[in-house]
Structure 1
Amino acid sequence: MTETLADTQAELPEHPMPRAAGCPFDPPPSLRDLQSGRPVSRVRIWDGSSPWLVTRHDDLRALLGDQRISADPSLPGYPHRTPGTKVRDQARRTFITMDDPDHARLRRMVTAPFAIKKVEALRPSIQKIVDDLIDTLLAGPKPVDLVEAFALPVPSLVICELLGVPYEKHDFFQSNTKVIVRRTSTADELLAASEALTDYLDDLLAVKLAEPGDDLLSHLATQRVATGEMTRRQAAETGVLLLGAGHETTANMIALGTLALLRHPDQLALLRDGDDPRTVAAAVEELLRYLNITHSGRRRVALADIEIGGQVIRAGDGVILANEIANRDPLAFPDPDRLDLTRDARRHVAFGYGVHQCLGQPLARVELQVVYSTLYRRIPTLALATGPDQLEFKHDGLVYGVYSLPVTW
C-alpha cells in the first residue's frame, strides 16, 4: 500500500524530533516508533514541506547507493535543514552538494591525502599530538574541560597539518565553524562565517601558489588552480569544507565517546586494560554506530519514482535519510541500544554510504583509534567532574555532542 500526496495534508510528525529527557545517547523515541511501524513515511519540516523520512538501515543504504536520488540543494523539493542553510547551500556549492560527474571530478582532486595508506602514515604524528596534549593535561590544573583542552585541539592540529593551515588561526576557524554548524544561525550569519573562512583560505592559497609546501592546499594551488582546473575561490571553498569537517565532527566524537564510555565503565575497561589494535578498531566502529553525531539526516531529492519500504517516492519528493536511527535498527544490529565494543558494527552508516560517503573517514578512524587507545590508558582514573544532568548537549547543532565536558582524575 502506498502513501499518496493527500496523506500529507493530515497531521504529520515534526522533524527534527526531540530526544527523551535523560537519554542523551539515544535517538528520539518518535524515530524508533516510525522505524517499527512506518519506516518510510512523511514528516513536516520548518518550511511546511513534507519530505519522506527513511528510518531502516537497509532502505537507507539502498537509497544512498541509488543514482535516482540527488544531493543537489538547488533542486525543487530538496529538504533543507534550516532557513539559513537553504540560503547558504544555494549560494555556495562544493562537491558534497553535487551529483556525478561533477561530484566525482572535484572529489578526486582532494582524495589522495585521505587514502588509507596516506592516513596510516600520519599515525605516529597523530600519536605525538595526543601524547603531548595529555602531558599538558596531566601537568595542569584540574578539573579541566576536555572539549577545549583535548577533544577540539586533536583534530584541529591534525587537519591544520594536513591542509597547511597555521594552527595559530584555530580560534578564528573554530568560532566560524561553530556558526556554520549551529541550527539557529541565520542566513546572514552563515554567509558571513563562510565568507570569512573562504577569504582567509583564498589569501592563503595565493601564498601557496608563490611558495608551495607539502600540504593539500599547496597541491590544490599548484596542481589545480595553476592549471585552470579550479578557480582559486573554488579551491578556497573546498578548503573551508575540509577544514570544518576535519575538526568539528571528530572533536564531538572524542568528547561524546568519552562521556559514553564513562557512563559504561565495563566497556571503558575493555579499552583501558587491553592493547589489541583489533579491539580498538572495533570499539571505534561501535561508538560511531552508537552515537552517530550527524543527527539531522542525509538530505536528498528524488530524480525519478522510486519504490522503497512499501512506499513510492515520486520524482521531486524530498527525502531525509535518518542515519541516527538506521544505526539503531534491530534488523541490522541485534540489541541496538546496547553499547557493545565487541560488536561487529562495520556496516554502520555514520559516514553515510555510496558515492557521497565521508571523504575523511580514514583520517577520523585513525584519530579516534589513537585517542581511545591512549587517553584512558594514560589517565586510568578519568572521571566526570560534574553531575551528568549538568552537561549541556548540542541539541541546537547540526553535529551532536557536548558543549563542555568537565573531567578530573
Structure 2
Amino acid sequence: MKSPVFISSFGTVSALGQSKAEIWNNYKTPKHFITKHMFGNKEAFAAFLPKEVRNDIETLRNTNSQYGKIDESVLFAIFSARKAIKEAGWGNDKNIGINIGSSRGATGLFEKYHKEFIKNGEASTQASPSTTLGNISSWVAQDLQSAGPEFSHSVTCSTGLHAIANAIAWMQAGFCDKFLAGGSEAALTPFTIAQMKAMKIYASEELDFPCRALDMKKKRNSMVLGEGSGILALQNQNSEEALGRITGIGYATEILKHSVSISEHGESLQKAMRMAVGKKELSEIDAVVMHAPGTLRGDLSEVNALKAVFGENIPAMTSNKWKLGHTFATSGILNLELAVLMLQHQEFIDVPFSEISKIPSKLENILVNAIGFGGNAVSILVSRK
C-alpha cells in the first residue's frame, strides 16, 4: 500500500445485531447465536438476523415500491450502506465509490423464480434483472444517489475482503477519495443448506457450541451458515472520528487439486499474510481474526499457514463463526469489524472452547483473513488509530 487508508465507519447486520454497542456486548458474552430451524422438511443449524433487525429492514422495504422486487441480499446491503453513510457523516457527499459483492447472490429470488419455471415452463419478467450479480452495488448507488464508480463481484467467501482491496486500489489511483466496500449474504434457504450438507461439512451434533471453529480436537466438520451484511466506509484522509487504519493488504490464489479443497499448509494464506504484513516485523502482529469455518481441513490448514509464517511466535488466534455462523461474502467484513472493536476496546475476544485461542499481551496490529472456494485468500492488516 502507498499509504494507510482509514475506516470511517461500519454498517453491519448479523445474528449479533446492528448497533456497535449491541454487537460488542454480544461478543463479550460467551453464548452463541446459532439455533435450529426447519429448511424444507429438514432441520439444520443456522444463525438468522434478530427479529428487531428484520423488522427494521422490512420497514425499509416498505419505503419504496421497487424494494418489493429485490432480493434480501440487496436489501440487507442498502440497509447497511445507509448505516455506514450516516455514521461516517457522509450524507451530503455524492462522489463515493461502491464495491459490494456476494458469494451466492440473489439466492432466495433465484430459487423462487426457478421453482416457478419448473412448474409453469415460463420465466417471470423480473427473473433476470432481479437476480443478476450487479444488483447489489447498483441498488445501493440508486438508493444513495451516488455519483462515483460502482461495481459488484463474487470471489466466494473472500468477497468482502476483496472488495476492500479493490476499493483501496481505486482510491490510491486517484479515482475516488471515499468508498463503500463490503459484502452481503441472504442464503439461508433449503437448497443452500442442502448444498453444504452434500459436501459433508455442515454441523450435525447437538453440542453446547454446534460450530467448533478453532477446536483442534474436533472429530467432525462443524460449519454453520449465518446471514448478514457488512459495509465499510473507507477514506484516504485521516480524521478524529476514524475507527482504525488499514496498513496492509495481501492476496493470493493457490493451485487446487479439488474445487473446494485447500492445501494442507494453506499456501495462499501464507502468501496473503506475508504480503499484508509487508515490512513490519512479525513480532508486531498481535492477533489474527481467522477465517476458521469450523471444518476439519479448513481450520487445520489456516493454523498450519500461521505456523509457517510466524514460526513459534504465532499471534493470538480467534474466530467469530462459532458465534454467528459463516456468512459467506460478509464473513471477512464481520471479521474486520471484530478486529477493530478489539483494538478500540483493547480487549481480546477468544474462542471459549479452543485451547489455542490465547489472550495476547497487547493489541496494536491485527491480521484479518478470508479464503473461499477456488483458493482465493485475502489478508488485511488493521492497526490501532
> Which TM-score band applies after superposition, normalised by the shorter structure?
under 0.3
Which structure dedicates a bigger proportion of its chain to helix?
Answer: 1
Structure with a larger share of its residues in strand: 2
Calculate the TM-score normalised by the size of structure 2. Answer: 0.24
Q: Higher Cα Rg: structure 1 or 2?
A: 1
Higher RCO (C-alpha under 8 Å, 6+ residues apart): 1
